[in-house]
Chain A
Amino acid sequence: MPHYAVTAIGADRPGIVAAVTGVLMEQGCNLEDTSMTILRGHFAMMLVVAGPSGSGPAGFEEALAGVASDFDLVVAVRAIDDDVPLSPEGEAWTVSVYGADRPGIVHRVTSVLAAEGANVVELTTRVIGSEDRPVYAMVLGVTLPPGTDGAVVSRDLEELARELGVECSMHPSEADIL
């Protein structure tokens, strides 16, 4: 079955998920991995769905047009490659970065990680605090390639954090299988 990435975002209100998934169900799609959250009052949906054979992204966008208009959503559907590996191998770590908001925090932190070959597998950022003293908070899930020394990556990040004037810490987040 072909897979599609469906994204939708719009001002949050009750009923968005039910409406969007209702259309996808009518279209014969099966929801697989999804992530949905509120970003600054907007509900953002990212869904990977399996569609019936012979389907195409344009048909789904057309089918979703009514819901998009009812809920004032920006909707996009794209075909995705079925052959990509499901998850990178390596050691799971969590990185936390927070401090006074300033441009470039995400870029600088992820550049250090990329230079170490670390793969960002999840990332959430939030601007918190008051408007005159905004605080930027970011938590990243990172997979370090086998053989990478977490302590080295941690030291590099701490160095960068000092330069940026933010706090940074990193800890292993390998789950215990019981």
Chain B
Amino acid sequence: MPVRPVLRLPEPVLKEPAAPVERVDESARQLAADLVDTMRASPACVGLAAPQIGVSRRAFVVDVTGHRRADSCHGTFVLFNPELLLAHGPVAAREGCMSVPDLTGDVRRATRVVVRGLTPEGEDRVLQVDAFEARAVLHELDHLDGVLFLDRVDSAASLFPRRVYR
């Protein structure tokens, strides 16, 4: 299936907690494929959560391959019903979001993270991620709870106009 439009603020679905994926069936796999296709359609995009394409389900895709700040890299992976098992070592860095155009912000996030979820094949997967991959996972996890980076900026002085839109 196709690339889907990425929703932007003030779309209400972006602020809603997403519901669990009940069964890893054909429609869940379709959602996974749409997330991957839509992420790949934007060259700078390293992750996407289901609410961003209008599906209020707990699913995201991440791929930090080739990113200059990445250390761990698990390639492209989709997780359903992901759970955060461990997070430590917070570091502030500037991030933006496909769903929040024109702004970026300094956000403190853990740099070592363990996350667990179901793959599109229905298998339980535990991933240990760090550095930029950890930031991407935490950013996408937030989307599943209706939390945007705007909710986490360090201070009023940590919000910036996005200078380059690619």
Contact = CB atoms under 8 A, between A and B. Distances in A.
Interface of A: 33, 37, 86-92, 121-122, 124, 141, 143, 173-178
B105 to A, nearest CB: 8
Interface in B109-166: 132, 135-136, 139-140, 149, 157, 160-164, 166
A88 B161 CA distance: 11
Nearest to B47: A178
Contact of A89 (B105, B140, B160, B164): B164
A135 to B, nearest CB: 19
A86 B45 CA distance: 23
A176 B160 contact: no
B163 A176 contact: no
A178 to B, nearest CB: 4
Contacts of B157: 37, 124
12 contacts: A33-B161, A86-B161, A90-B164, A121-B161, A122-B160, A141-B160, A143-B163, A174-B94, A175-B95, A176-B94, A178-B96, A178-B135
A121 B162 CA distance: 11
A92 B45 contact: no
A145 to B, nearest CB: 12
B98 interface: yes
Of A143, A174, A176, which is in contact with the most chain B CB atoms at under 10 Å from its CB? Answer: A176
Nearest to A124: B157
Contact of A178 (B46, B164, B166): B46
Contacts of B136: 178
Interface of B: 44-47, 67, 69, 93-98, 104-105, 132, 135-136, 139-140, 149, 157, 160-164, 166
Contacts of A33: 161
A175 B96 contact: yes
Contacts of B104: 175
A176 B161 contact: no
Contacts of A88: 163
A29 B135 CA distance: 39
Contacts of B149: 178
B94 A173 contact: yes
B89 to A, nearest CB: 18
B163 A177 contact: no
Given A175-B162, A176-B95, A177-B166, 19 more contacts: A33-B161, A37-B157, A86-B161, A87-B162, A87-B163, A90-B163, A90-B164, A121-B163, A143-B163, A174-B164, A175-B95, A176-B67, A176-B69, A176-B93, A176-B132, A177-B98, A178-B98, A178-B136, A178-B149
